[in-house]
Structure 1
C-alpha cells in the first residue's frame, strides 16, 4: 500500500468490540484495517478484562500508534458489559456543583486511561431545551445554558487533567428535537438569535476553556445549512466551528453508522463529505473499507487536497501527543472503592425532594408497598433498586412491577396484597433515551396508582428523567435525575433517612 493511501486511512476510526475478539475472522478484519493505516479505534461492547486484552493486541499490531476512544459519559460501565464504576448521569451532575462534576470526570478519565483509552467522547454539551428529546435528556446537564456550560467545562477540565482527550458534543447543539438521530435525521428549527443565546453557549465556553476535540451532530440546522446535516456541512464544520468559534483542535463526526446518515448516504459518500466539510475524524463508518477507498479516490482526483489532508494530520498528531499515544505508561491501580463512594456521594448531592418530606424516613412506618413502574428495558434497574431497598431496611415491604398494560384482575390482586400498607412508593424507571419509545400504557398509570393507593399517601421516586410527571400526583416526589447504580442506591438511602459516608 502506498504512503498516501495510509495517510487517508489514518483519518478513519472504526468500531471494535471485545465481545467478538475471540473470533479469528473478526480479528483478521480489524487487523486488515490496521494494516491499511487507520488512525484509531472506538471500543464498545466487552468486559473490562477482554477489552484490555484486545487493546493490547491492537496496539501491538499497530506499533502502539492507535488513538483509542470510547463513549464513557457516565463511566466505563456505560459500554463495558462487566467492570468499571458507574457514575451519575450528566443531568444529575448538573444539579450539583461544577467541582463535583470535575471530580467525577477525573475519576472516569483515570479508569479510562488505566484501560488504555486516550479519548472519551464526552461531555454532552447540548441544552435540554426539548423534554421529549430521546438522545440528550438525562445525558445532558440541564436546560439552562450557563449551568450546562459550567458543568461541561468542569467535565472537560477533569478529563484532560488525566491526559485524556475530552470531546464536547453534539455541535452545534442537539437539544431542541424529539427525533433520535440513531434512527433518522432530526431538524433543529430555531433562529440564529436563539442558537447564539442558548445552543452555542456551552460549546463556545468549552472551546475558550481549552477542550481538545469537538463532535459534530447529525442534525439539520436550517438557518446554517438546510441541505446537509451539521456533521457533513462545510458551512457548519468549517465556517461556524473552525472560523466563527475559532476552534483548531480535532473535529470528529458523530458515528457514521447511525440511521441519520446511513438512510441517505453510502459509507463512501459520508466519508468524503465529512472530510470536505472540515472533519478530521471519519468516525465509525458503516463500511470501513468502502470509506477508506473513497477517501483515496477523492484525494487522487484532487477533491481532497494535500493542504486539507495535512491540516487533519497535524490535528491528529496534536491529539495523540497530548494523550501520550506511543509512549509506555505506568500501570496504575484504580481505587474502585473510592470511586464508588465518590459516585454515591455525587448521586446523593443531586437528589431533590418536592412535597411532604415528613413522610420520610420510611422506617417510621409499619408496613410499606413499593412498585416499580417499568418496561422491559429498565427491568434490571428496577430489580437492583428492589434489592437495595430490601438490603437497607428490615421493614415489611410488599414489592411488585407494574406498567399501564396491567389487567384489572391482576390489579385487584395487587390491591388485596397491600391493604395493610401505610404508604405506597412508586419508582419510575422509564426514560427518554435512544432507540426506545414511551412506557407502555403510560396514560393509565395515574389511574392505576389511584386504585392501588386508595387514599393513602404516596411517594414517587423518579429514577431517571424528571420529565412527564405533570400528570402523576404524589404527596412527595424524589428526583434522582439518573438511573445508574449510584443514583438508585442514593434514592434508597434517602428513603430510609441515611446518607452516604463523607
Structure 2
C-alpha cells in the first residue's frame, strides 16, 4: 500500500531520532526539515560542550523549534560528563541529604548547563522509588526507597530544571523501582495490585504532575493488574486512564526507547511498537540510539499505514503531533526569552555546588584518614545500558597514590595484601555487598589487614568485620569521588 505523504509527515512529528557523532548527517537534517520532532542525543554526540552547542545550533538553523533531548541525570547517568563523570552527585546522594532546596539548585544548575548547550528536553529526573535493593537499572538513579521522600525531591528537581528553560521528563511511569530485571533486555513484571502501586510507586508521579512537569516517560514494564500482558507503554489503562484522567497530566507522554526489548520485543519490532505506543496514548516516541534514515522512515511509514488501515485513529496521531509541537513551542519561546547565555538562580560555579552536595551526602564511619599512603584497589564492575561506560572511582584525585583495578573473582586477599606490602588498603567498589565474590574479598581483607571500603553504589547495611573505616558516597559521580578522596586524606593530584 502506498504511504500517504501527509500522514508520513504527521507521523514524523511524533518521533525522536538519533545519530552517532558530533555532527548531524544530511539525512537527519532532511528529515528535520520534513517535520521530524527532533533528536535524542547520547554520549557519542558530545565531543565537548562547545561542539555540542555547535551541533544544536546547526539543528536549530534547520528548524528553530526542534526538540533536542538528552539523558542528563547527574550521578551515574550523564551525557555531558560522559568522558570524566558528572560534576553533580545523582539522585541517591540528593535523597540522602534530603534538602529539597539543594535538589532544586542542583537541577537548576544542570538545566543551565543543558540550555547553554542548546538542549531543551532533559529525560530526567528519574522518580522511581527504588524499593528493590537489587534493582539492576535504577539504584542510585533514584532519590530513595521512601515514596514521600522521592515525591518531594522529584518535584524540586522538575522545578529546578524548568526554571532554566529546559523541559523535565519524569520517568519511568508507573514506576520501575520494584523490578529486578532490566527492561533494556527483557520485559520486567511487577505482579502487585494497583493499590500497592498507588501507595508505593505512584506518589512521585503525582508530585511531578503537581510540579508542572512538561513530560512524563512511560516504562517498558508489565503490571498485570494495570497493563495486562503488555508493557505500560502500550497500555491505555496506564497512560490514558491513570496518568491523564486520574492524575490530570496534560503534557507530553514520552516513551522510553522503543528499541529496548521491553518494547520492540513485545510488539514484534520498532515500527510496530510505535503504533502500539501511539494507540495507547503516547505522544513522543524515542526510537533509540541505533537509528538511521531507513529506520526512521520505516517507523513513520508504519504509523501512516496504521492510520490508513484503521489500526490507529487519525485523531490520536494528530493529538500526539499537536502536543509535541506545543512542547517544542514552549522550548523555543523559553530560549528566546532567556537567551542561551542566561544563568538564573544560584550563581556558584557548577563544580562548587556539586562538591557541596556530594560532601553533604557522604557518610563516613571510622577514621579513614588515619590510614595514610594506602594502596587503592578498585573493583572492576559492569555498567548498565542506561549508564554507559563512564569513568568512575578515585583515580583522578589520587596524586602519587597507587591504584590497581582488579576483578574480584580473579584475585585473592593474600595477593592484594602482598601487593600492598606495609601499606593499608582502600577497597573501592559499587554494590560491593551484592556479589558474593566481592563481598567475600572485602571480608577477608578487613579481617586480615588495615582496610577501608568506599562504597559508590546503592548502599546497604552490610559492613565487613574488622573494617577500619567505611565510606558511602551514594553514587559514582566525579564530585562524589572527589569528596571521598578528601575524606581519606589523600593528597590532591
> TM-score, normalised to structure 1's length?
0.85
Offset from partner CA, 1:138-190 (integer Å, 9 cap, x none)? 11110000110011111000001112110110000011111101111100111
Would you say 1:388 and 2:397 are equivalent positions? yes
Report what 2:28 is aligned to: 30
Report what 1:403 is aligned to: 407
Would the aligned equivalents of 1:76 and 1:111 in 2 still touch at CA under 8 Å? no
Report what 2:480 is aligned to: 487
> How far off is 1:385 after superposition?
0.7
Residue pairs, 1:347-496, within 5 angstroms: 347-354=358-365, 357=366, 359-360=367-368, 362=369, 364-365=370-371, 367-375=373-381, 381=391, 385-390=394-399, 399-407=403-411, 412-421=414-423, 423-429=424-430, 442-449=435-442, 451-453=444-446, 455-467=448-460, 469=462, 474-496=467-489
Q: 1:365–1:171: structure 2 CA closer, same or farther, 3 Å change rule?
A: closer
Would the aligned equivalents of 1:76 and 1:83 in 2 still touch at CA under 8 Å? no
- The count of residues paired between Structure 1 and Structure 2 equals 471
- Which of 304, 316, 329 aligns to 1:308? It is 316
Offset from partner CA, 1:51-74 (integer Å, 9 cap, x none)? 32222222222x313111111111
Tell me the secondary structure at the aligned position of residue 166 of structure 1. Answer: strand
Would the aligned equivalents of 2:127 and 2:172 in 1 still touch at CA under 8 Å? yes
> How far off is 1:257 after superposition?
1.2
Offset from partner CA, 1:88-116 (integer Å, 9 cap, x none)? 11111111211111101001110111111
Residue pairs, 1:204-215, within 5 angstroms: 204-215=206-217
Would the aligned equivalents of 1:71 and 1:120 in 2 still touch at CA under 8 Å? yes
Tell me the secondary structure at the aligned position of residue 275 of structure 2. Answer: helix
Would the aligned equivalents of 1:66 and 1:325 in 2 still touch at CA under 8 Å? no
> How far off is 1:483 after superposition?
0.4
Report what 1:70 is aligned to: 70
Report what 1:151 is aligned to: 153
Partners of 2:166 and 2:181 in 1: CA distance? 31
Offset from partner CA, 1:22-47 (integer Å, 9 cap, x none)? xxxx7133134224311111111221
Q: 1:266–1:209: structure 2 CA closer, same or farther, 3 Å change rule?
A: same
> How far off is 1:403 after superposition?
3.0
Offset from partner CA, 1:360-404 (integer Å, 9 cap, x none)? 4x1x4455343222237699746x51341336xxxxx55433332
Report what 1:271 is aligned to: 274
Partners of 2:165 and 2:334 in 1: CA distance? 13
Q: 1:115–1:223: structure 2 CA closer, same or farther, 3 Å change rule?
A: same
Would the aligned equivalents of 2:454 and 2:472 in 1 still touch at CA under 8 Å? yes
> How far off is 1:234 after superposition?
1.0
Would you say 1:79 and 2:72 are equivalent positions? no
Could you list the runs of 5+ residues in structure 2 that have no partner in the other structure? none
Using the TM superposition, name which of 271-280 and 7-16 deviates more: 7-16
Residue pairs, 1:277-292, within 5 angstroms: 277-284=280-287, 287-292=295-300
Would you say 1:15 and 2:13 are equivalent positions? no
Partners of 2:381 and 2:335 in 1: CA distance? 46
Tell me the secondary structure at the aligned position of residue 18 of structure 1. Answer: coil
> How far off is 1:12 after superposition?
1.1
Partners of 2:279 and 2:390 in 1: CA distance? 44
> How far off is 1:419 after superposition?
4.3
> How far off is 1:279 after superposition?
0.7
Tell me the secondary structure at the aligned position of residue 16 of structure 1. Answer: coil
Report what 2:92 is aligned to: 91
Partners of 2:188 and 2:196 in 1: CA distance? 18
> TM-score, normalised to structure 2's length?
0.87
Q: 1:202–1:288: structure 2 CA closer, same or farther, 3 Å change rule?
A: same
RMSD (CA atoms): 3.0
Partners of 2:17 and 2:390 in 1: CA distance? 30
Q: 1:398–1:36: structure 2 CA closer, same or farther, 3 Å change rule?
A: closer
Q: 1:248–1:495: structure 2 CA closer, same or farther, 3 Å change rule?
A: same
Partners of 1:407 and 1:332 in 2: CA distance? 51
Would the aligned equivalents of 2:446 and 2:465 in 1 still touch at CA under 8 Å? no
Partners of 2:451 and 2:471 in 1: CA distance? 11
Tell me the secondary structure at the aligned position of residue 307 of structure 2. Answer: helix
- Which of 353, 357, 362 aligns to 1:346? It is 357
Q: 1:119–1:84: structure 2 CA closer, same or farther, 3 Å change rule?
A: farther
Partners of 1:498 and 1:346 in 2: CA distance? 21
Q: 1:496–1:198: structure 2 CA closer, same or farther, 3 Å change rule?
A: same
Would the aligned equivalents of 1:169 and 1:214 in 2 still touch at CA under 8 Å? yes
Tell me the secondary structure at the aligned position of residue 427 of structure 1. Answer: strand
Using the TM superposition, name which of 449-458 and 239-248 deviates more: 449-458
Partners of 2:234 and 2:296 in 1: CA distance? 17
Would the aligned equivalents of 2:76 and 2:90 in 1 still touch at CA under 8 Å? no
> How far off is 1:4 after superposition?
4.1
- Which of 233, 236, 252 aligns to 1:234? It is 236
Report what 1:42 is aligned to: 40
